[in-house]
Amino acid sequence: MGSNNMNLIAELKKIKCGKIETDVPLKKLTTYKLAGLAQIVVYPKNIEELIRLVKFIKENNIKYKVIGNGSNLIFATEYYDGILIKLTEFDYLTIDDTKVVVGAGYNLVQLAYRVSKMGLTGLEFATGIPGTVGGAIYMNAGAYKSDMGYVVSEIKVLTPTLEVKTMYNKDLDFHYRSSFLQKNPGYICLEATLVLKEGNVDVIMDLIADRKKRRLMTQPLEYPSAGSVFRNPEGDYAWRLVELAGYKGKEFKGAMVSEKHSNFIINPNGVSGVVIKNFIEKIKKDVKKEFNIDLIVEQEIVE
């Protein structure tokens, strides 16, 4: 650890902005289990600590990113030389009738199961999405023709000017795997209010069990990955194009396109995000050459 790093950590400790970890393996921070390190990870406990931290970061012009469970992230570097902010401590939950108020750091799968077991319907699609609530809203995560945009009524954000404000569904510009937050990364999701409906608990749980069985049969869930790599082009499937381009089961420097599902890249050998990014670019290029279709990457690449 260099002396600059020591100074930075000393400064961060001084401003009391939460737990600080240094040289954190990226494999602990990503579902791809990527090789490499993150210089500093900070876990603020509350909004006050987060505001102090972001203020310090901006005043000192430090590179930073807010991350959830890293279930959609590719760090295209062996060493992230900045501060990663994890809102793991923002994990409170209150359920009042069909209204759910939940912290951005709450685990989405846990939330989806919890409300489903109570007979609340609307979040069944999320039982297979291993992110946080904040990350899911940022990406507008979805499955089975539903997504966060259908259930989020409002969110609390920290704005780039460090004010806490409420944004409503109509302000959030939810589209297929896209949202206002994604296009305006200076805003940080702190909390969400979801509105669900009353349903039949047996019907809900049967549907979840059926989908889980299907996922296990059709997706390589036993290997590190970050789910679907590419968005489905209009009227087609990304997996079909990747397969036709000859990439099913193909290996590239330790990364691999899954035999089970051609829109999944798996990382059985713990390679870095640099390798995975290069692999994605190679696949994109060949699909473009063969079908004249520009595949859009659904996963987020962090430089």
Q: What is the pLDDT of residues 132-163, one digit of tens each?
A: 999 999 999 999 999 999 999 999 999 999 99
Fold topology of 93-203: 3.30.465
Residue extents of the structural domains in the chain: 3-86, 93-203, 222-298
Fold topology of 3-86: 3.30.43
Q: Which of 116, 124, 154, 177 is catalytic?
A: 177
Instruction: Taking residues 77-105, report their average pLDDT.
Output: 97
Catalytic, 114? Answer: no
Catalytic, 298? Answer: yes
Quote the percentage of the chain above a pLDDT of 70. Answer: 99
Q: Which of 49, 124, 191, 298 is catalytic?
A: 298
Q: Which of 116, 178, 225, 228 is catalytic?
A: 228
Torsion angle of C-alpha atoms 67, 70, 75, 81, degrees rounded to 10: 40
What are the CA-CA distances from residue 13 to residues 9, 19, 20, 89 (Å)?
Answer: 6, 9, 8, 18
Catalytic, 214? Answer: no
Fold topology of 222-298: 3.90.78
Q: What tens digit of pLDDT does each residue of 190-248 get?
A: 999 999 999 999 999 999 999 999 999 999 999 999 999 999 999 999 999 999 999 99
Q: Are strands 255-257 and 251-252 parallel, antiparallel or unpaired?
A: antiparallel
Q: What tens digit of pLDDT does each residue of 2-39 get?
A: 567 889 999 999 999 999 999 999 999 999 999 999 99
pTM above 0.85, yes or no: yes
Kind plus residue range of the DSSP H or E element containing 114 = helix 108-117
